Amino acid sequence: MAKAQTTALVDPAWLAARLDDPKVKVIEIAVEKLDSYNVGHVPGAQAWIWKDKLWDARMREFPSAKDFATLCRTAGIGNDTTVVFYGENVEFGYYGWWVFRYLGHNDVRMLDGGKKRWVAEGRALSTAVPTVAPARYKTAARRRERMRAKLPQVRRSLEKKGVVILDNRSDLEFTGQSNNLPGKPDFGAERYGRIPGAKQLHFVDLLNPDETLKSPAEIAKLARARGASPDKQIICYCRRSHRAALVLFALTELCGYKNVRSYDGSWTEWGTAVGVPIEK
């Protein structure tokens, strides 16, 4: 397990000791269906399909402050609740962490290694769907805009020194041979390639075989090899920003980087937008 510089990364032992704590809520982020959750999940975990819960229902944007407060209340999450995420696919859990932090919730954590490590350590899974009592949630005051980059900012950064763009996709995506993960249907953008000048840092390179994060020293070495040192402004992107969220977490929470943003439009936006350059 990587040794976190903050309390944002927790291990199964930490979570197991707090499963009965009403101030701790566990969320499994599902990709499209709840099949994996229904087979077995961390006891007490709720299941959210990422787009259903973490996007606005009417546009490609995140929930408004009002809608986010409603979501939290319904899930039994109060302003002082510790929310622990893990993903059906590891990167989706980190996306949940990123969205919650961006939308203003303070105590958000990641289960290092997720369900895979939980099971590997001999801990039991549950098929029971928890009954959740609604909570009070005061609307968060502000979004943490320093965590997010939008297309105009990314485009302006192409002409700036001191900015490093990290492409967290696979080799096939980075080299313009595919617009999706290996083995997945090839769709997601009109064009193939990458943002000009981007350096590839595939998100899986930051993970151990058990899907825990590598040590801060290992992660920092990988980042620095791409010119992404702590004194730079760093923008991470992938296809829809799940993988980018994992890299942002690793750099900020483990390595102490202060200026890292996720471009959540990522390649699905950049590769389709009119008038933006690409590179192969």
Which CATH number characterizes residue 87's domain? 3.40.250.10
Helices (H), the chain: 12-16, 35-39, 50-54, 65-74, 90-102, 114-120, 151-157, 171-174, 216-224, 242-249, 266-270
108-111, strands of its sheet edge to edge: 9-10, 108-111, 82-87, 24-30, 46-49
* Span 93-117, pLDDT tens digits: 999 999 999 999 999 999 999 999 9
Do 15 and 137 have their domain in common? yes
In a domain, 157, yes or no: yes
| Per-residue confidence band for 6, with pLDDT thresholds at 50, 70 and 90 | low
Average of per-residue pLDDT across 142-150: 96
Do 177 and 234 have their domain in common? yes
| Per-residue confidence band for 182, with pLDDT thresholds at 50, 70 and 90 | confident
256: tokens are: 């102490």
Do 195 and 121 have their domain in common? no
Contact 84, 109 (CB under 8 A): yes
Average pLDDT, the chain: 95
In a domain, 278, yes or no: no
Of 92, 110, 143, the residue that ends a domain is 143
Do 56 and 74 have their domain in common? yes
Do 215 and 105 have their domain in common? no
Assess whether pLDDT exceeds 90 at residue 2.
Answer: no
195: tokens are: 């943002």
| Cα–Cα distance for residue pair 237/216, rounded to 1 Å | 20
| Per-residue confidence band for 119, with pLDDT thresholds at 50, 70 and 90 | very high
DSSP state for residue 165 in the 8-state scheme: E
Q: Which residue type is seen at 254?
A: L
Give a three-class secondary structure readout of 79-91: CCCEEEEEECCHH
Q: How far apart are the first and last CA of the chain?
A: 36
Do 266 and 170 have their domain in common? yes
In a domain, 131, yes or no: yes
Of 114, 143, 172, the residue that ends a domain is 143
Instruction: Based on the residue annotation, tell me whether 238 is a catalytic residue of this protein.
Output: yes
Assess whether pLDDT exceeds 80 at residue 265.
Answer: yes
In a domain, 275, yes or no: no
Do 16 and 131 have their domain in common? yes
In a domain, 276, yes or no: no
| Cα–Cα distance for residue pair 30/21, rounded to 1 Å | 23
| Cα–Cα distance for residue pair 269/240, rounded to 1 Å | 9
> What stretch of H or E contains 109?
strand 108-111
| Cα–Cα distance for residue pair 280/207, rounded to 1 Å | 26
In a domain, 1, yes or no: no
Do 133 and 241 have their domain in common? no
pLDDT of residue 226: 98
pLDDT of residue 157: 96
In a domain, 107, yes or no: yes
Catalytic residue among 72, 236, 238, 255, which?
238
| Cα–Cα distance for residue pair 215/1, rounded to 1 Å | 7
In a domain, 21, yes or no: yes
| Cα–Cα distance for residue pair 26/129, rounded to 1 Å | 12
Q: Which residues contact 20 (CB under 8 A, 6 or more apart)?
A: none
pLDDT of residue 18: 97
| Cα–Cα distance for residue pair 94/65, rounded to 1 Å | 20
> Which residue range forms the structural domain that includes residue 264?
146-270
Assess whether pLDDT exceeds 90 at residue 5.
Answer: no
Say whether 171 sits in a helix, a strand or coil: helix
Average of per-residue pLDDT across 200-219: 97
Of 143, 172, 205, the residue that ends a domain is 143
| Cα–Cα distance for residue pair 237/151, rounded to 1 Å | 11
Q: What's the total number of domains in the chain?
A: 2
Do 123 and 201 have their domain in common? no
pLDDT of residue 35: 97
Do 187 and 98 have their domain in common? no
Do 43 and 57 have their domain in common? yes
Assess whether pLDDT exceeds 90 at residue 1.
Answer: no
Q: Which residue has the higher pLDDT, 249 or 7?
A: 249
Do 29 and 114 have their domain in common? yes
